Amino acid sequence: MARPLDADVRRGEILDRAFALFAEQGYHALSMRDLARELGATTGALYHWFDGKPALFAAMLDRQVERQVFDAVAAVAEVPLPCRMAALGAHIAAAGDDLQRTLAVSLDYHRAHPERGAPLGGALAAYREALGAHLGLDPDAARVVVSVVVGELLQRILEPGRDLRPLARLLPILGRPAAAG
């Protein structure tokens, strides 16, 4: 009976380690054979769990984004609603390296498969939905917040060392309700 749990744990470990490999070497540089060797698995085992490298990548990105969304929600959940945008900005500044690697890996994949925008688009939708729900934002405001964060992370890729701490001060401005009239 413990076998399925062990398989799920092993699959999760493979996805976590695959993220590090994709982040370090890039999507193009890794074949399924390379991944199997680096992950201590057989190629057959990888193909048993995933229908190829794009499917492995999509599962890996889903797992990464699920963890990051959980962490972001946890960072704002216990904070009073008016202070949640600042708490989100502080969380993003603290988690910036991880978020930046996820964006870079996603963009690398997207360059390889522009016709398959679903993994990156799905990740952005997950962030918009979760943040909208936990920050009390309508869908348009959630889209703008995610766009600003992605823009800052992209600038950080282009300008290493860019400070993300100003997001804690700027995100509350984006989250303010629009003036009536």
Q: Is the Cβ–Cβ distance between 14 and 46 less than 8 Å? A: yes
Compute the Cα dihedral for 116, 120, 126, 128 and give only its sign.
negative
Q: Is the Cβ–Cβ distance between 76 and 145 less than 8 Å? A: no
Q: Catalogue the long-range contacts made by 106-109 (C-beta closer than 8 Å, 24 or more residues apart).
A: 106/61, 108/22, 108/26, 108/27, 108/28, 109/22, 109/27, 109/54, 109/57, 109/61
Is a pLDDT exceeding 50 seen at residue 181? no
pTM of this prediction?
A: 0.85
Q: pLDDT per residue over 109-138, tens digit each?
A: 888 877 766 678 888 999 999 988 988 888
Residue 102 identity? T
